[in-house]
């Protein structure tokens, strides 16, 4: 190679070296573990619980989960069972807690869970071995939009 060829390659080589260095230094300073990033912007999930008609009423409810606090809040209504009945809360097939006793066909629960929940998590409400309500958690898009720095408020 002559001197002219080397001079014409110099800007290209310099740019490539800067680019390579920036990749190395960015990864060395702040490594990212993708498995630890929340799949849902703020980590807020919600499920609209539904069930089958039970004693001429169709049960409904809501489950909300905060990944930050590992807190699952559940409210059910139109569960036409005897007052004082205690419903069980399951994630998939695992029992994780109980709701407050039913009063006027409604009940609530706040449960701090041990394992992380996500959009694959199925919230299920049972009376003994009988399913009453269920739904999968999904990203709470409304919560995500209001907390986004680019959202117009």
Q: Which residues of the chain have pLDDT under 70?
A: 1-39, 141, 143-153
User: What confidence score (pLDDT) does residue 11 get?
Assistant: 52
CATH of region 44-145, choose from 3.30.70, 1.10.3470, 3.30.360, 2.60.40: 2.60.40
127: exposed, middle or buried (Cβ count in 10 Å: 0-12, 13-18, 19+): middle
Do 67 and 43 meet the contact criterion of CB atoms below 8 Å apart? yes
User: What confidence score (pLDDT) does residue 150 get?
Assistant: 44
| Angstrom distances, CA of residue 109 to CA of 52, 72, 90, 114, 149 | 21, 8, 12, 16, 32
User: What confidence score (pLDDT) does residue 1 get?
Assistant: 58
Does this model's pTM top 0.85? My answer is no
């Amino acid at each position: 190679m002559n001197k002219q060829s080397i001079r014409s390659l110099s800007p290209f080589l310099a740019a490539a070296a800067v680019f390579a260095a920036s990749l190395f230094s960015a990864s060395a300073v702040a490594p990212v573990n993708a498995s630890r990033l929340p799949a849902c912007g703020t980590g807020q999930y919600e499920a609209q619980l539904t069930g089958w008609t039970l004693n001429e009423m169709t049960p409904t409810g809501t489950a909300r989960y905060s990944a930050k606090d590992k807190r699952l809040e559940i409210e059910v209504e139109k569960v036409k069972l005897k007052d004082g009945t205690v419903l069980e809360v399951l994630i998939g097939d695992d029992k994780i807690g109980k709701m407050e006793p039913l009063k006027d066909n409604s009940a609530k629960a706040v449960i701090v869970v041990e394992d992380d929940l996500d959009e694959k998590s199925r919230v299920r409400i049972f009376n003994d071995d009988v399913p009453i309500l269920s739904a999968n958690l999904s990203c709470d898009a409304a919560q995500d939009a209001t907390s986004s720095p680019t959202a117009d408020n």
